[in-house]
Structure 1
């Protein structure tokens, strides 16, 4: 039960992160820059090291989590290409016009679908956060406390990113809030499930690698270009660096 109670802290931090994302107003470019930095920091300092620790086995000379990392990156890239959208510079493109004079715009519903898919993946990741807390407490109170600190701290970024990514792809506020609520409940549910069973370490490592590639694509191919396109890049770049630094500090404090 300790793991479930600790996961309630992750619930609160996720909601706080989403609330901050909602109240940014015309500073959206700074929010997106910071969000991208947080996502990069989560991938580099949290997801990949944990994945490598959980699944150190190699396949043809390459650690399996890194193969899954590349697979996650390519999976979201293929999804975006298959629906013929790319939000990074979408505003710079004119509508496609043919000789008969009809213009064809991007299909907003498809863009919304990618945003929902990305947010749903983040909810799935938050469930795994709860699993991680529960499994760590099964290993011992000290290990559980360290893992819980890291999860609760970076769940602020999870809530922030879930709301931001959902809205970035054109979804309305109700959908974004609904997914934010699901993301907040997810770690509590994940911790509760571990009261019944645990996830094999190897599978957990593969999942974390895959999700790391997914997040890195969103940060670099969508969110950062979107953040820099309408505004001077210096302040946005600073926010990105601050986001990475914040996640470094979180990991350092949790170590």
Structure 2
């Protein structure tokens, strides 16, 4: 049963990435919508889920919130030290490889998140079939946006289409692997909560520092991009609300 449910997540993830691949000239709308979706995932899904796991507190602060801040500051320090946002057209090639590495890291983090989505289905199945189906509905509903974001974030940083499609394929396969492995080895809540906080900080930084500025370059239609961002956030609110 968990494997069958995760196959539906596989299909939705691929579909989301292929939609992102076909948008083309409306890239600024894709980026704006993706940023809104990422904000919604952080605010309505990742952080609430992490805090609901009764996480360990360190010096009065829940561990997921500490890893959230750690990820946000960590990626900021890495990007500042490499001067990724200070480049001009004449020296862009110097930093192209570093930027591509960030894109691959971001895409890989999304793959890990999809793996944990599958793990959640497998863990729920250990409690009961009905709970596994409920969890799977939530996973399937937002796996479209996972695939969408995996392709968008990876390609945004200058990676070739082939690399973006490779990570998209891995992202689609990850829920199946997670569901299979969790049937044999459950994930402790403390580790899961810390990871969710870490991923939330990473995702929020990418949305606010990289994707939104790229979407609002001078050549873009700012009004429509803002609308796409708001719609992306509202979309995730609706998805989470319907599957909670």
TM-score normalised by the shorter chain: which range applies?
over 0.9
Q: Which residue of structure 1 aligns with residue 55 of structure 2?
A: 56
* Superposition deviation, residue 174 in structure 1: 0.6
Q: Which residue of structure 1 aligns with residue 204 of structure 2?
A: 216
Q: Which residue of structure 2 aligns with residue 95 of structure 1?
A: 90
Q: What does the per-residue CA deviation read over 1:137-189, in whole Å, with 9 as the maximum and x for residues that have no partner?
A: 11222322221111111111110011011110011111111010000000100
Task: Work out which of the residue numbers 195, 212, 221 in structure 2 matches 1:232.
Answer: 221
> Is contact 2:138-2:243 (8 Å) kept?
yes
| Larger CA Rg, structure 1 vs 2 | 1
Structure 1 length as normaliser, TM-score?
Answer: 0.91
Q: What does the per-residue CA deviation read over 1:101-152, in whole Å, with 9 as the maximum and x for residues that have no partner?
A: xxx8542111111111110111111111111111111122232222111111
In structure 2, runs of 5+ residues without a counterpart are none
Residues 55 and 81 from structure 1, CA distance in 2 versus in 1: closer, same or farther, beyond 3 angstroms?
farther
Cα root mean square deviation, aligned: 1.4
Q: Which residue of structure 1 aligns with residue 69 of structure 2?
A: 70
2:24 is equivalent to residue 25 of structure 1: yes
Local SS of the residue matching 2:55 = coil
Q: Which residue of structure 2 aligns with residue 99 of structure 1?
A: none
Q: What does the per-residue CA deviation read over 1:65-100, in whole Å, with 9 as the maximum and x for residues that have no partner?
A: 1111111111211222232213xx85xx3536xxxx
* Superposition deviation, residue 23 in structure 1: 0.7
Q: Which residue of structure 1 aligns with residue 232 of structure 2?
A: 243
Aligned pairs for 1:116-195 (under 5 A) are: 116-195=104-183
Q: Which runs of 4+ in 1 moved over 3 A?
A: 93-96
Q: Which residue of structure 1 aligns with residue 184 of structure 2?
A: 196
In structure 1, runs of 5+ residues without a counterpart are 97-103
Count of residues paired in the alignment: 243
> Is contact 1:85-1:106 (8 Å) kept?
no
> Is contact 1:38-1:246 (8 Å) kept?
yes
Structure 2 length as normaliser, TM-score?
Answer: 0.95
